[in-house]
Amino acid sequence: MEASIKIVLEKHRTNSEGLCAVKIRVTHDRKSKYYSIRHLLKNDDWNFCSDTYRKVKKKDKYEMVSELDYIKSATRGAQVDIKLNYEAIEQKAKACINSLPVFSFEKFEVKFMNKPTNWDYLYHAFLEHIKDLKDENRLGYASSFNGTLTGIKYFMEKKPYKDSKNIKQKDHAGFKKYKSLKFVDITPGWLKKYEKFLVSNGKSTSTIGIHARNLRVLFNIAIKEHGIKAIYPFDEYKPKSSVNTKRALTIEQVNAIASYKASEGTPEQFARDMFVFSFLANGMNLTDVFRLKQKNISGDEMEFVRHKTINKKNEVAINVALTPILKNIIKRHGTVAINKEVYVFPVLNKAKDEVEAYRLITQKTKQINYHLKAIAKKVSIPEPLASEISTYHARHSYATILKNSGESIEFIKESLGHTSSATTEKYLKSFSTEHRKKRANDLDQQIVGF
């Protein structure tokens, strides 16, 4: 629906001199907002300046003529000037509306009234973007942006960095500098100083890269969608690339975890089984494992859509063969199939909304990863892998082991639910050390007489 505009007189409000305010009314989607154009008129003067048609006497008879024609035929030059001025204001308002790809009152105000926008300031831009992400139920992404805002806060205030989860109310006292930070203040030099600050506070190269990515995303939105006039700093500034950490386990290491003898009904048993379930179910992320419902199971197969791609252009259905081990894990930890909407695993049974679901999944994942690290050490998986292992390793291990076995990239891409082979290649950037050694030894044995 297009926005409409009209200049109106607030007749119900008059000052001591009997003057009323003239305002421009903008209406969109049945909602109207009024903006002052700093004019005060009497009702009689307004009659000469409105767009209505009036009956006027012409040669002993009354005819309907436009008010503008009437004004031009009159001797009231001041009212004619006001009328023409109002028409110019309307044209400006229409041009502002037509220049907006998507209308919003906020964007109209910025253009029409040259009103400073909150998006000039990083603080307000972060808060608005985080709110948008939460409204879209992209809570993990929202948490990531909140972490970047927290880092900027402590950098600008020259205070030791604290993770957002540990921030107390008193920690917010006296924080003012970071709220006045504008996009125009973000230069390559500023970014390098921010990176140095993060390094001095023990943040990893990958964490610094995430902060830089979030800032870059927000910068692009500010420029493209909100018309912020700032020099783009990321053509010159490039954060240090993190060393590719080996996230994939060998099939022997996966088997060692799967074969670990955990006591019945213990958190260790649940952690072991969830890792194995994730691995065998095409490297399914735990957020998708815990969102599985009985309707996703049909016979000997499961079909699901990754939560992160639901209602997105890259949404694809993933099919998983329900193997005997997967069936046993469901039988051991699953719920009774009362109806198709029941969760396969009872983690989200008490979740009232998406925020609560995100909290429960995050909490349960942390518990699983804690016990998974303990299992890895008990089955002699070497350090530092044993101390770093998480359920995310199941996904990378699934993909890498398939590749090392000779499976095609196309099949792996489909199994993981990727829409681009480039994304799959990131998982498979390098073969495992064991695979390289095996291939080298195979070639070595083919060299005869050396």
DSSP 40: E
DSSP 308: G
Peptide bond into 384 cis (omega under 30): yes
Of 148, 150, 152, nearest to 182 by C-alpha is: 152
The pLDDT of residue 76? 53
The pLDDT of residue 272? 92
Where do the structural domains in the chain lie, given as residue ranges? 4-112, 118-235, 251-439
Q: Within the chain, what is the greatest distance between any pair of CA atoms? A: 125
- How far is the C-alpha of 439 from the C-alpha of 426, rounded, in Å? 22
- Which residues face 55 on adjacent strands? 64
CB 289 within 8 A of CB 393: no
Residues 6 or more apart in contact with residue 157 via CB below 8 angstroms: 174, 175, 177, 178
- How far is the C-alpha of 267 from the C-alpha of 369, rounded, in Å? 11
CB 288 within 8 A of CB 432: no
- Which residues face 411 on adjacent strands? none
CA-to-CA dists, residue 263 to 94, 253, 270, 272, angstroms: 72, 20, 10, 11
- Amino acid (one-letter) located at 281: A
- How far is the C-alpha of 417 from the C-alpha of 398, rounded, in Å? 13
DSSP 295: G
The pLDDT of residue 215? 93
Coil, strand or helix at 343: strand
- How far is the C-alpha of 320 from the C-alpha of 311, rounded, in Å? 21
CB 93 within 8 A of CB 26: yes
- How far is the C-alpha of 382 from the C-alpha of 435, rounded, in Å? 17
User: Containing H/E element for 110?
Assistant: helix 105-112
| pTM of the model as a whole | 0.59
CA–chain centroid gap for 426, Å, is 21
- How far is the C-alpha of 81 from the C-alpha of 339, rounded, in Å? 73
**What DSSP string runs through 141-202?**
HHHHHHHHHHHHHHHHTT-----GGG--GGGGTT--GGGG-BGGG--HHHHHHHHHHHHHTT
Please identify every stretch of the chain with a pLDDT value under 70, giving residue numbers as ranges.
Answer: 1, 38-81, 114-117, 161-177, 241-246, 311-314, 419-421, 423-450
- Given the structure tokens 């903008």, which residue do they identify? 26
Residues 6 or more apart in contact with residue 156 via CB below 8 angstroms: 177, 178, 181
| Structure confidence by residue, pLDDT tens digits, 117-166 | 677 888 888 888 888 888 777 888 888 898 899 888 888 877 776 554 44
CB 37 within 8 A of CB 122: no
Coil, strand or helix at 281: coil
Task: Output the CA torsion sign for 197, 201, 203, 204.
Answer: positive
What's 251-439's CATH class?
mainly alpha
**Does residue 184 come out as left (phi exceeding 0), alpha (psi in the -120 to 50 range) or beta?**
alpha
Of 154, 155, 243, nearest to 205 by C-alpha is: 243
Tokens of 389: 């292992």
The pLDDT of residue 58? 47
Torsions phi, psi of 180, nearest 5? -95, 5
Detail the DSSP E strand segments found in 250-377: 297-298, 301-305, 317-321
CB 428 within 8 A of CB 403: yes
End-to-end CA distance of the chain: 80
- Which residues face 297 on adjacent strands? 302
Torsions phi, psi of 5, nearest 5? -135, 150
